[in-house]
Chain A
Amino acid sequence: MSPEILRLIWEATLDTLWMVAVATSLATLMGLPLGVFLATSGRGELFAAPLVNKALGFVVNATRSTPFIILVVAIIPFTRLLVGTSIGTKAAIVPLTIAATPFIARLIEGAIREVDGGLVEAARAMGATPLQIVRKVLVPEALPSIVLSLTLAVVSLIGFSAMVGAVGGGGLGDLGIRYGYQRFMPDVMAVVVVVLIVLVQVVQSTGDHLSRRLNKRLRRG
């Protein structure tokens, strides 16, 4: 394999990492509060607003049920409006973020709902405000499972990022399509796949490790 190709693979890997990192960060920034709200706004809950809860739930479901490749194409005008272009790494971040936000929101909703209701009652009995309950009880108690959720989101985004390659998004997926498939270079395709496998492995074990360290519910000898 020529040094030129190796350089391309290296750059594509950095592009993928960059897209996934930015999209995950933005999606977490929006998905975390959204997920917390979804978990706490049902009838009789901390921020009880059942109608808003239902409406948001519908939007989240709608976004989640749109196939990613269709989402990418459908929001091209919006992407262009936001970043000035619809191709390349920067443009790919927009649909990645939009797809990841509801996904992360649902995962975080699940993690928050796992927190024992007795803890919320205890915090209320201490005179905590709903916001204090979120900050001091719900999020810290759900943190190990939030970390696992975000790990899952990053792994999924690595897969999604390969898909934006199909519409010129840049990164490993793009490289695999253009060189491995269109130029009949199976060795490039193989390397792309191997790099993706390694990335996912590293992310997953890092996430598992971090979650275990944060989890104080386990008794350690």
Chain B
Amino acid sequence: MTMPVREAELSGTTPLAAPSPAIRFENVSKIFAARGTGAAEVQALSGIDLAVAPGSILGVIGRSGAGKSTLIRLVNGLETPTSGRVVVDGTEVSALDERGLRDVRRRVGMIFQHFNLLSSRTAYDNVALPLEIAGTPKDEIRQRVEPLLDLVGLADKRHRYPAELSGGQKQRVGIARALATRPTVLLSDEATSALDPETTRSILELLSSINRELGLTILLITHEMSVIRGVAHEVAVIDGGRIVEHGDVFDVFTRPRHPTTRSFLGAETGRELPAYLQAHLRPEPVPGGAVALRILFRGPHATDPVISELSRALGLDLNILSGSVDEIGGRPFGTLVVSLPNDPVKLGQALTFLQARELDTEVIGYVA
């Protein structure tokens, strides 16, 4: 016999229930109406289902025109979905009017590719702007702005105008400004795309530390895998207005399923073969040639001396063609392309040996 369950009992704090997401897209589509005669309407997003857990960093990667700008603008209501729901911190943003949206926007910070700082205001006054807009009293503004400038490392530049700051410093002002109203969610719109690699790293480190220390949920969009890898916990790949792949950064990086993901990963994880190897690779067996095998080192045995064990156990002569060992999301990950004699029995044994150690293998072709 089952006990009737009252709703009140369910709504209480159930330790097993996952925390409700900070941002949730439910079957969201966005169509931009045709502008002008002869123009076709544009389906920017279709059937987006995506959730970002509180305190996590989700990176959305896509080519330009894939719909990622539209996606991020749905969160603070700069765009409204054609259908579906967007829920932020329990508030259905997609159902709000302008007035309601203004309240939500004060709980959602945003940083931009081109910083969008007011040229007529100093660093201090730029950070103060969202507080002025929210009607915060002047002395309270001071109490909030000063620590934020400290946090982003610009206390000594408070009276500088944006034109007197470097790109990285401008983005730091942008970050401080986005944090001024103490938001729970931070949106990052290609925030490092206009910066050089070194500055990008320092900005990503700042975002990571903000995420850790303030428990801020971050949704970022980018077209660079290195950004995802540098800062994100989860990654979603968007292509043609759809999420084609979504998961933990390590899993997606090491086992990409969608062709778009693979092309983005290309050089980033050593997946792309060096040109000399590509030139020698044949799709059909070559008489007297060898098999080229790709081994992906992930999981518990990623750091074991697998190759020498394999060589000894099966008496195989392995020739290393290319390889890289790397770290993704704090976990080791390696790629190795080896060639071994084209002998079906030996090859089968080798694959069994590698699979027993939870390593992914793939025959990528044949070499002479």
Interface residues of A, Cβ cutoff 8 Å to B: 116, 118-119, 121-129, 132, 136-137, 140-141, 143, 214, 216-220
Shortest CB distance A68–B (Å)? 35
**In the complex, what distance in Å separates the CA atom of A116 from the CA atom of B113?**
13
Interface residues of B, Cβ cutoff 8 Å to A: 76, 78, 101-106, 108, 110, 112, 114, 116, 118-121, 129-130, 132-134, 161-164, 181, 187
Contact A141 B120 (CB under 8 A): yes
Shortest CB distance A154–B (Å)? 23
Contact B78 A124 (CB under 8 A): yes
| Residues on the B chain within 8 Å of A118, using CB | 112, 114, 116
Q: Dominant SS at the B interface?
A: mixed
Shortest CB distance A205–B (Å)? 22
**In the complex, what distance in Å separates the CA atom of A217 from the CA atom of B181?**
26
Contact B118 A141 (CB under 8 A): yes
Q: Dominant SS at the A interface?
A: helix
Q: Which 8 A/B pairs are nearest by Cβ-Cβ distance? A: A127-B105, A122-B116, A127-B102, A126-B130, A216-B161, A118-B116, A125-B110, A127-B106
| Residues on the A chain within 8 Å of B161, using CB | 216
| Residues on the B chain within 8 Å of A141, using CB | 118-120
Contact B116 A119 (CB under 8 A): yes
| Residues on the B chain within 8 Å of A219, using CB | 163-164
| Residues on the A chain within 8 Å of B101, using CB | 127
**In the complex, what distance in Å separates the CA atom of A122 from the CA atom of B133?**
12
Contact A126 B120 (CB under 8 A): no
Shortest CB distance A30–B (Å)? 24
Contact A126 B78 (CB under 8 A): no
| Residues on the A chain within 8 Å of B134, using CB | 127
**In the complex, what distance in Å separates the CA atom of A118 from the CA atom of B114?**
8
| Residues on the A chain within 8 Å of B120, using CB | 140-141, 143, 214, 216
| Residues on the A chain within 8 Å of B118, using CB | 119, 137, 140-141
Q: 20 A–B contact pairs at CB < 8 A?
A: A116-B114, A119-B116, A122-B110, A122-B116, A123-B133, A125-B76, A125-B78, A125-B108, A125-B110, A125-B187, A126-B105, A127-B103, A127-B105, A127-B130, A137-B118, A140-B120, A141-B118, A141-B119, A143-B120, A219-B163
